Structure formats: structure tokens, C-alpha cells
């Protein structure tokens, strides 16, 4: 066995059998039109079906929570029908696909949501600007959710999971990372509540566990994954004790028997640093996917050492639809073009050449 061969071995994640250990990380691409997925998106995901698991971009669980303007949803019947193209495209090429389900919380600007007010754990704004139809604007101060509204959002996640399965997906990934709503409750920089959803880590994790209770009851725990980012400071996020946070959540997640836990190991901006993956591995008993900046060689080493069960690649699969084949052949990789990450149309989306081309 060569050093990279472990990447090509099968693995079971919950109810799902993967042909290899390559996972396509969820990547916002802004190609939905009117929050509807489309044929271009189906082609994009289908092209990358040789990864053991494809995880879609973040997908809105409820109306009026757009963070990007061209993000897809899964709360309406027409969206469910439109997503079937993507599930079919991945399955036709022998792949497996999970939908990442998501509520943006305070990252949803009113100018992207017909004036609808942003909501969050607490009335604390993101310290940044966002592109809107009226140009770049500061994020607004969100309204703190009531407990009744929190219960409604939990049901939105439950319905989104059911809709994803109805659309033909193999499962869902609950988005608990990168400064969106669940993460806004989890981390103490954005959650200053004094009720049952704030203060202690047990209280701050209550929304996450409420969502997992609902989603796993709806579609089965073996079809549910979770993504966490203990260190990522994107969207003005920070936690005073990321290692303790990781240990607490990893331990608490054991009762769910999820398909996987997906951990982002670093911070986009390098503000916070800590070795969170060993903590996740020590305290979480299920399958672990790791992510952020892994080369194929480092990924294979992590798998061989049993530090993880699969590795998620972001821009590597964005720019190389046939990444597993290229790695196996030792072929050169395409260079991703950041200028087209969030534009519209096929350029920089479905036109990256395969190795054979």
C-alpha cells in the first residue's frame, strides 16, 4: 500500500457507505436564482461525485434568512423539486450527497431579505460589512430570539431535513459552524443571554441539541452529520475556551450516534489557534471528518494514524472535479480562481477541466 492508498479505502459513516475517504466540503457558490437550485448546480455537484461524499453549500431552512442573496433554500415545495436534479446527478455517477441545512441568524441582512429583521442569540452585530443590493453595508444589530421563536426554528430544521430526504439526498449536515445561528448560540462572544439558552456551556449548547433531537428523530441519526468550527473567527466569532468547548460538545454528541462529526481545525484569519482535532478524537466516539488546508499527503497521514475517518477538501475539489483520480495518478492540480468563487454562471464553476481533458 502506498502512502496515499488509505484515501481510497471505503468507510461507513452512519447509514452511509462511502467508496473512499474524500469528502467535498460545503462551499458557498451563489449560483441559486431566487433561492432555487438549478441545473447548473446539479451539473457542478455531479461533476464531483467521485468524492466519497459530497456536501452541498449551506441551504436555508426558512424564508427570509439569506446571507448571500443567491443562496438556495429547502423550505418550499418548488425548492424540494428543484434539488432532486442535484441528488439524481450525484447518484447517477455513483456518489453520495448530504445537504447542509442552515440558519444564518445575524448574518442575514435585511436588505437581502425584503427588510426582515435579523435575529440571533443576543443583540450583538457582526463587526463587518456585507454586499447588498444597495452596495456594501454594515451588518445590522439583530433582535434576540424569544424562546418561542427558538422552538419554531428547531422545527424549521426538522422540516428541512425531511425535505432533503424527500428530494433524494442521502442525509443532511447541520451547520453549527462559521458564525451562523447555531454557532452564535454556542460561542460566548455572541451569546450573552441569561435564560435557558445562555450563560453556561450547557445552556449555550441547548439550541444545537434541540435541533439534533428534532432532526435525528425525523430522518434517523445515521443520516445526520454536524459541522463545528471551534476556532474560526469568521463573522466576528470567538470563544474564551475553545478546547473546553470542543470537549463538552464532543462528549455530549455521543448520545446521538450521528453519521459523523465534521470539525474545522483552524481559523480563517489565524486569530485563534489550538489543537482541537485531538480533543474531538479523544472525546467523540463516532466517525470524525476533519477539514481546513489538508493536502492529500497530510490527509493520508491523519487517516493512517486514525486521527480521523475521512477528510474534507474545499477548494481542492472546487477546482478539480476529479480530485481523487488526480491524486491517485499523481497528476497536477488545477489552480482555483477566487475571482469566480461567488459570481454567477458556469465560469469558475463547471468549466474546470478534468484530468483527461
Question: Exactly one of 44, 45, 139, 180 is catalytic; which is it?
Answer: 180
Helix axes 39-47, 77-92, angle to 10 degrees: 30
Residue 262, all three cell numbers: 465534521
CB atoms within 10 A of CB 34: 10
Residue 263, all three cell numbers: 470539525
Bridge-based pairing of strands 22-24 and 310-313 is parallel
Question: Hey, which residues does 11 pair with through a beta bridge?
Answer: 18
Do residues 214 and 251 lie in contact, with contact meaning Cβ atoms separated by under 8 Å? no
Residue 165, all three cell numbers: 430526504
Non-local (6+) Cβ contacts of 291 within 8 A are: 23, 25, 262, 263, 264, 265, 311, 312, 313, 314
Q: Is 256 a catalytic residue?
A: no
d(CA 132, CA 136): 6
CA quadruple 24, 29, 31, 35: dihedral sign: positive
d(CA 80, CA 95): 19
**SS3 call for 294:** coil
d(CA 345, CA 327): 28
Indicate the length of the chain as a whole number: 357
CA quadruple 150, 146, 34, 52: dihedral sign: negative
d(CA 50, CA 46): 9
**In angstroms, how far is CA 268 from the centroid of its own chain?**
15
Question: Hey, which residues does 291 pair with through a beta bridge?
Answer: 264, 312
d(CA 348, CA 318): 9
Nearest to 308 by CA among 11, 55, 56: 11
Residues annotated as catalytic are 180
Amino acid at each position: 500500500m502506498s502512502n496515499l492508498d488509505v484515501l481510497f479505502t471505503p468507510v461507513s459513516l452512519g447509514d452511509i457507505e462511502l467508496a473512499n475517504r474524500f469528502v467535498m466540503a460545503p462551499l458557498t457558490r451563489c449560483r441559486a436564482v431566487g433561492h432555487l437550485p438549478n441545473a447548473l448546480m446539479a451539473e457542478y455537484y455531479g461533476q464531483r461525485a467521485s468524492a466519497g461524499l459530497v456536501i452541498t453549500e449551506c441551504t436555508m431552512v426558512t424564508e427570509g434568512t439569506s446571507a448571500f442573496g443567491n443562496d438556495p433554500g429547502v423550505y418550499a415545495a418548488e425548492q424540494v423539486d428543484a434539488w432532486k436534479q442535484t441528488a439524481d446527478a450525484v447518484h447517477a455517477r455513483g456518489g453520495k450527497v448530504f445537504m447542509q441545512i442552515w440558519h444564518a441568524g445575524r448574518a442575514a441582512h435585511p436588505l437581502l431579505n425584503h427588510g426582515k429583521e435579523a435575529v440571533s442569540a443576543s443583540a450583538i452585530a457582526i463587526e463587518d460589512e456585507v454586499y447588498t443590493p444597495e452596495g456594501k453595508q454594515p451588518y445590522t444589530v439583530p433582535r434576540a430570539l424569544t424562546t418561542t421563536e427558538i422552538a419554531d426554528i428547531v422545527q424549521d430544521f426538522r422540516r428541512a431535513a425531511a425535505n432533503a430526504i424527500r428530494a433524494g439526498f442521502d442525509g443532511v449536515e447541520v451547520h453549527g459552524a462559521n458564525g451562523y445561528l447555531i454557532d452564535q448560540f454556542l460561542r460566548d462572544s455572541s451569546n450573552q443571554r441569561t435564560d435557558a439558552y445562555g450563560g453556561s456551556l450547557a445552556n449555550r449548547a441547548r439550541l444545537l441539541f434541540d435541533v439534533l433531537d428534532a432532526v435525528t428523530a425525523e430522518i434517523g441519526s445515521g443520516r445526520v452529520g454536524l459541522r463545528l468550527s471551534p476556532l474560526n473567527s469568521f463573522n466576528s466569532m470567538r470563544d474564551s475556551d475553545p478546547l473546553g468547548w470542543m470537549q463538552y460538545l464532543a462528549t455530549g454528541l455521543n448520545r446521538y450516534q450521528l453519521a459523523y462529526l465534521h470539525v474545522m481545525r483552524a481559523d480563517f484569519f489565524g486569530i485563534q489557534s489550538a489543537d482541537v482535532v485531538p480533543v474531538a478524537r479523544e472525546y467523540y466516539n463516532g466517525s470524525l471528518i476533519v477539514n481546513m488546508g489538508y493536502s492529500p499527503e497530510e490527509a493520508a497521514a491523519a487517516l493512517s494514524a486514525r486521527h480521523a475517518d475521512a477528510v474534507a477538501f474545499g477548494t481542492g475539489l472546487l477546482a478539480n472535479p476529479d480530485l481523487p483520480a488526480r491524486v491517485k495518478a499523481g497528476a497536477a492540480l488545477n489552480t482555483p480562481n477566487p475571482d469566480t468563487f461567488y459570481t454567477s454562471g458556469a465560469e469558475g464553476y463547471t468549466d474546470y477541466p478534468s484530468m483527461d481533458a
